[in-house]
Amino acid sequence: MHSIHKYTFTLQHNTPILNDKKKEGLRMPSTPSLPIIDISPFRITPTNSTFTPSQIQTAHQINSACTTHGFFYLTHHGIPDSKLAQVLTLAREFFALPLEDKLKISRHDAGGPEGGDGARGYQAIGENVTGGRRDMHEAVDWYREWDDVATREKEDKGKRTCEPLKGTNLWPEEPSDLKGVYEEYVEEVLKVGEAVVRAMGAALALSVNGKENDEAVDSEVFVKSTDKSFWVMRMIGYPKLETSSPASSSSANSAVDSLSDAEMSCGEHTDYGCVTLLLADPTPGALQVLHKDGTTWLNADPIPGAFVVNIGDMMERWTNGLWKSTKHRVIHRGDGFRVSVPFFYEPNFDAIIKPLEACVKRSGKDPIHEGSTYGEHLLGKVLNNFY
Ligand SMILES: O=C(O)CCC(=O)C(=O)O
Ligand SMILES: [Fe+2]
């Protein structure tokens, strides 16, 4: 256990708050913080296989961030602030609608008469469950559309039943410009995702290749496996939690265990895919990231114009655990209604994800997984309510 456990972490300053008496004679531990990474060197398609000095610098920062935290801030990604603001404003406008309007695009179970696919659509507050507990948020999910969707709809001849994940996206009528703005946003954020996984490939190649390995990492491996990314975009609304704060604690377990199921905005989890690009409104103190020590929760407060980026379970599998997908959670006790729009930049549905040979050797461990397609992994998640 920590002898000093009452720290408040904020991202810009990371200042541990101690009372004056305790400050005296105390050697301050180094304060953890999430790194800030400029992705601009990787926004251009490489013309040859050598990296520029600025790419090498960014790649090293990515390797360090993914090894240490699995989380970082991403700047210089090319999406204007005005566009990010528009996406968040539209989310806020949608969630402010009467429930009956939001229910018009409800998510339904796959195979049922409503034509749901168990994945796309709106979930009201408390419908989403994480780790067996109801999450106090509402959300709409959109996925990459299938290329053959028009043919399938014709063949369906009005039966309106659907296999898991095989439906089409549900867009609200109001706000009327939401669909157009969000579809444009998807195109832009896909480019950011590509730049990030290109940088991650470079980071891995630079850190692993030539280090007692006869295998090398192809730095384009993630770009190739995500060129038809089966992405998910989730628009989330969080009402302020009404219940009182749990006993102040830096212990992950005691904090979680003392909460009833009504008290989590989004329960502790890792993301199940490749790379998450999180856009969130400025509400501080809501998103918390579990530090490597396994007990300290760090506030990942938004930095204006930056994405909070984290790696998911598929990246951990690819790297055979060299990079960890980190636990995080949302506890929104701040002011007002919080909105966030995470974009999950995922592998292609049929991409086979298994530990890269060079990473297996570097890790000195047996492969952590025998390999499966991303689609199989995702279907397992959908069928088990994303456990
Ligand atoms: O809203 C947030 O800040 C994070 C949401 C999240 O972790 C998720 O949807 O996976
Ligand atoms: Fe998450």
Residue 214's pLDDT is what? Answer: 63
Please indicate, yes or no, if residue 325 is contained in any of the structural domains: yes
Is the Cα dihedral 178, 44, 342, 244 positive or negative?
A: negative
For residue 279 the two structure tokens come to 């856009």
Tens-digit pLDDT profile for residues 301-340: 999 999 999 999 999 999 999 999 999 999 999 889 999 9
Q: Rounded to whole angstroms, what are the CA distances from 237 to 70, 106, 231, 332, 360? A: 24, 15, 20, 11, 40
* Other residues' Cβ atoms within 10 Å of the Cβ of residue 35: 13
Judge if the upstream peptide bond of residue 175 is cis by omega within 30 degrees of 0.
yes
Q: How far apart are CA 381 and CA 271, in angstroms?
A: 11
Please indicate, yes or no, if residue 12 is contained in any of the structural domains: no
Please indicate, yes or no, if residue 25 is contained in any of the structural domains: no
- The edge-to-edge listing of strands for the beta sheet with 266-269 is 266-269, 328-330, 287-290, 297-299
Q: Would the CB of 271 count as within 6 Å of ligand 1?
A: yes
Q: How far apart are CA 267 and CA 332, in angstroms?
A: 11
Residue nearest to atom 8 of ligand 1 (CA): 342
Give the pLDDT band of residue 258 (cuts 50, 70, 90).
Answer: very low
How far does the centroid of ligand 1 lie from the alpha carbon of residue 344, in Å?
10
Q: How far apart are CA 231 and CA 234, in angstroms?
A: 10
Q: Does residue 140 contact residue 94 with C-beta atoms inside 8 Å?
A: yes
Give the pLDDT band of residue 162 (cuts 50, 70, 90).
Answer: confident
Q: How far apart are CA 95 and CA 21, in angstroms?
A: 47
How far does the centroid of ligand 2 lie from the alpha carbon of residue 344, in Å?
9
Please indicate, yes or no, if residue 10 is contained in any of the structural domains: no
How far does the centroid of ligand 1 lie from the alpha carbon of residue 265, in Å?
9
Number of H helices, E strands in the chain: 11, 16
Q: How far apart are CA 75 and CA 277, in angstroms?
A: 11
> Which residue intervals of 236-307 are DSSP H helices?
252-257
Give the pLDDT band of residue 128 (cuts 50, 70, 90).
Answer: confident
Q: Would the CB of 339 count as within 6 Å of ligand 1?
A: no
Q: How far apart are CA 373 and CA 351, in angstroms?
A: 5
> Which residue intervals of 209-307 are DSSP H helices?
221-225, 252-257
Residue nearest to atom 9 of ligand 1 (CA): 342
Please indicate, yes or no, if residue 300 is contained in any of the structural domains: yes
Please indicate, yes or no, if residue 6 is contained in any of the structural domains: no
Q: Pairing relation of β-strands 71-75 and 36-38?
A: parallel
CATH code of residue 215: 2.60.120.330
CA 231 to chain centre: 11
Domain count along the chain: 1
How far does the centroid of ligand 2 lie from the alpha carbon of residue 49, in Å?
33
Please indicate, yes or no, if residue 18 is contained in any of the structural domains: no
* Other residues' Cβ atoms within 10 Å of the Cβ of residue 11: 17
How far does the centroid of ligand 1 lie from the alpha carbon of residue 320, in Å?
24
Mutate to test the pocket of ligand 1, among 340, 343, 346, 378 (most ligand atoms within 8 A of CB): 340
Q: Would the CB of 279 count as within 6 Å of ligand 1?
A: no
Q: How far apart are CA 191 and CA 193, in angstroms?
A: 5
Residue 257's pLDDT is what? Answer: 44
Domain range for 269 is 36-241+260-383
Q: ipTM of this predicted complex?
A: 0.99
Q: Would the CB of 342 count as within 6 Å of ligand 1?
A: yes
Residue nearest to atom 3 of ligand 1 (CA): 287
Give the pLDDT band of residue 30 (cuts 50, 70, 90).
Answer: very low
Mutate to test the pocket of ligand 1, among 330, 378, 386 (most ligand atoms within 8 A of CB): 330
Residue 133's pLDDT is what? Answer: 85
Please indicate, yes or no, if residue 251 is contained in any of the structural domains: no
Q: Does residue 104 contact residue 97 with C-beta atoms inside 8 Å?
A: no
